[in-house]
Structure 1
């Protein structure tokens, strides 16, 4: 059986792959329009957005499911080849640093400002399964236990976190199973990239998100996670009798510390310093990076851009002189982060992006909720049709158009933020 091509094995419509592409484009001073997709993708979304809501939702789910790897081909997915595909996003230059570890939208902006690539620990392998019932996690666990063994044997350096979120991912998981994989070792491709592309004495900056979630052990290097960070708590999910037996790094955002041990081994052998940026939850990096950008951009930075999940464009954000405050999803905790940030900082305007995940999930913060919580602040929604949210899928392309229409200001170039200064500010903010 032939090996599944790396680009076909990894979900394109996901946090890690999208943030990888956004970082690579940011380093090249290129925009991240249309989530990195072509004009046909944009045209299709705009036309589909005119259809009735149930039809839009169905098309969204089917399009996502089409990315899935057939279960019988999981043993042909080579995650070392995938690691090579990750590093191929970046030119073979000499970089002043590298970021490595947890996915985080704020880190996309940090990496761009530092001129440093980001190498993800976690990636999503979507597994095609049109029979997945969001309300039956027990069946999902059985499915994963049945199809995962060949995949795990082929890839000994990863831990599989099978994630089943019937709240925010209700549409997508009707078509697929979410196999999130976390690297425990750098592996040959990451090591080769670091040896060839890190400048002498350049630091390895490890992003270590301490988020955890209760899981059920399925087997060696295989856990099952019901729910995910976002709108509701772990105990609010219907577990169908599946009892958790451990806490593990949260499937999408959490950091597996085994990788840090391997990074330190590599660093000791090559002379590169290691800076570990530990933060207690996924949103905890957002305000410190926003403050770093506010200082880096200078006196013109008087507008805040509240980002949402994949709605990130480090190039156009920087060119418009916007201070980026990244949030995971449009949920209550995202409004909390924004409201707390604005308590002690003033901006001339606040622009808000809302990622459209398609359903009115529990814990969602709809546009009226944002207006209510941020009353008294001059706010507007970036590329969002508030009447169609959260099934306003054309917002994925309108977001870039809205940023493109904003006036360009004089802004520093990628790679001009001093590493020592950034690390000092982060350490102070997170201590």
Structure 2
């Protein structure tokens, strides 16, 4: 296996297993697992367990905050473990999740639920251009981004010492992470070259001349970058807020910090050195260059899709699925609106559903689904799976807004009660989506896999007016 060839860490010691390194709730981990299962003909019924907050619905906020902080710290890596991270071994762990067979292509790049659905429609694997890890911050504070930078820089230096071909982006965002942002630091490790494990996987497993599709999240965010391989951003696009909302005088920041047990008067964000750089889910230019160079050498064309906002790819992929299903003689009239980790490409395929993926439960992402539905041919049924984020934020959509999304269904309008119970402060596992979708009627056989040329044409046609760039 590829991962066995890169098992040893840079210092000669065995690196940590990928399953221990990659954050359990991170998008890349969930999407690789979901895509691999769908390509094996399985669903996500074994993915995820209820978080510690699932048992604390209705308890006082201080109790919930303390429990969230303890749980985050226990799951995070220690400083010594961060030093043992081997990014090549992580890449090997990702590729080893896919069945050993020849593939007609591959999808690489930024994490996005619709990328998983697109890969499954193409019958190809999806691989991320980076991964997220969480590290312990024993004396942390959710309202001290300056202290988070100091602690994270020291951790990043230890990681970079053994992994010189990555960039480490630190994100301190109490609006999207809540209380855990004061107990841990979040580091997104992005490959600056095509990992050796990926190159070996593509060379060994792709069919001759099979195309590769690279998805790039083009959202930007102000950050501090001193050129040492580690950069820092306070806040993130996934929070549903704007950079100005993380200013110490912003009313929104006050609400966010108080919900997480912090004090806005202590907030001191590090000086910004780059006013608009690609945010944490962007793709390093060296990774793209490495993938293109590899493709040129081995006869595999590389295509690129630049995504200005998550909604653009979600809408274009949903339109693609509807067209694909109808061409196979199916209705394409049943929609499932997924959210965050609540997705299951295998069950979507089995039931012949059209998938629309919301990155998270923020108002912006839910409004994106509403706008797309308002401009689409009506669906006979709409099932909605809102993922509770486990925290409170002024940027979150309320249940009435989710119900409004379900209301677009002509005959069936369903909001999952299990996910809605305790929303937004509880948590539900990925397998909740599987449990719900298993109740959908079967619509097999699945359509024949899409060809890459067809998918690119459909994305170009459906996404042009939303700013999706396909080249």
The answer to whether the superposition gives a TM-score over 0.5 is yes
C-alpha spacing 1:189/1:386, structure 2 compared with 1 (3 Å):
closer
Correspondence for 2:244 among 198, 221, 235? 235
Map 1:38-77 to 2 at 5 A: 41=49, 48=55, 52=59, 54=61, 55=63, 58-77=66-85
- Residue 367 of structure 1 corresponds to 399
CA distance in structure 1 between the partners assigned to 2:430 and 2:417 by the alignment: 8
What is residue 188 of structure 2 aligned with on the other side? Answer: 180
> Counterpart of 2:15?
3
- For residues 233-272 of structure 1, what are the structure 2 equivalents within 5 Å? 233-238=242-247, 240-246=268-274, 247-251=276-280, 253-272=281-300
CA contact (8 A) 1:227 1:234 kept: yes
1:114 matched to 2:122: yes
- How far 1:227 moved relative to its partner? 0.6
Do structure 1's residue 22 and structure 2's residue 34 form an aligned pair? yes
CA distance in 2 between partners of 1:212 and 1:383 (Å): 35
1:12 to partner: Cα distance: 1.8
Structure 1 residues 19-61: Cα deviation after superposition (integer angstroms, max 9, x where no partner): 1101101111110125x24xxx35x879726663645565455
2:452 maps to 1:423: no
> Using the alignment, how far apart are the partners of 2:388 and 2:66 within structure 1?
14
Cα 1:111/1:13, change in 2 over 3 Å = same
- Superposed CA offset, 1:128-165 (max 9, x none): 22432111111101111222212112111111100011
Could you say what secondary structure the match of 1:83 adopts? helix
- Structure 1's unaligned 5+ residue stretches are none
TM superposition shift of 1:89: 0.8
Distance 1:138 1:264 in 2: 38
Question: Which residue of the partner structure matches residue 153 of structure 1?
Answer: 161
Q: CA RMSD in A?
A: 2.2
1:354 corresponds in structure 2 to 386
Contact 1:209–1:254, Cα closer than 8 Å, also in 2: yes
Match of 1:412 in 2: 446
Q: Distance in 2 between matches of 1:209 and 1:179?
A: 17
Seen in structure 2, the aligned counterparts of structure 1 residues 61 and 290 have a Cα distance that, compared at 3 Å, is: farther
Higher mean C-alpha displacement, 45-54 vs 107-116: 45-54
Give aligned pairs, total.
424
Query: Which deviates more, 47-56 or 101-110?
Result: 47-56
- SS state at 1:65 partner: helix
Deviations 1:266-291 (A, max 9, x none): 11111111111122122210011001
Gaps of 5+ in 2: 1-12, 249-267, 465-471
What TM-score does the superposition give when structure 1 sets the normalisation length?
A: 0.92
TM-score w.r.t. structure 2 length?
Answer: 0.84
What is the distance in 1 between the residues matched to 2:164 and 2:428? 40
Q: Structure 1, residues 351-370: CA drift from partner, whole Å, max 9, x if none?
A: 11111221111210011233
Aligned equivalents of 1:46, 1:233: Cα separation in 2: 28
Report the CA distance shift for 1:47/1:169 in structure 2 as closer, same or farther (over 3 A). Answer: closer
CA distance in 1, matches of 2:149, 2:95: 32
Q: Is the 8 A contact 2:52 2:68 kept in 1?
A: no
Summarize the Cα distance change of 1:87–1:386 in structure 2 as closer, same or farther, 3 Å threshold.
Answer: closer
Residue 364 of structure 2 corresponds to residue 336 of structure 1: no
Check conservation: 1:160, 1:179, Cα contact below 8 A. yes
Residue equivalent to 1:12: 24
2:311–2:369 CA contact under 8 A, matched in 1: no
Contact 2:172–2:233 (8 Å) recurs in 1: yes
CA contact (8 A) 1:311 1:353 kept: yes
SS in 2 for 1:33: coil
- Asked whether the equivalents of residues 386 and 419 of structure 2 are also in contact (C-alpha less than 8 Å), the reply is no
SS in 2 for 1:269: helix
Q: Partner residue of 2:7?
A: none
The corresponding residue for 1:289 is 317
Which residue matches 2:437?
403
**Counterpart of 2:261?**
none
Residue equivalent to 1:32: 44
Q: Which moved more, 1:312-321 or 1:65-74?
A: 65-74
Q: Decide whether aligned partners of structure 1 residues 81 and 396 sit closer, same or farther in structure 2, where only a CA change above 3 A counts.
A: closer
Partner of 1:91: 99
Which runs of structure 2 are paired with 1:98-137 in the superposition (5 Å)?
98-137=106-145
The secondary structure found in structure 2 opposite 1:100 is: strand
Deviation at 1:121, TM superposition (A): 0.5
Q: State whether residues 356 and 395 of structure 1, in contact with CA within 8 Å, keep that contact through their aligned partners in structure 2.
A: no
- What are the residue-to-residue correspondences of 1:193-204 with 2, within 5 Å? 193-204=201-212
Taking the aligned partners of 1:113 and 1:168, their CA distance within structure 2 comes to 30
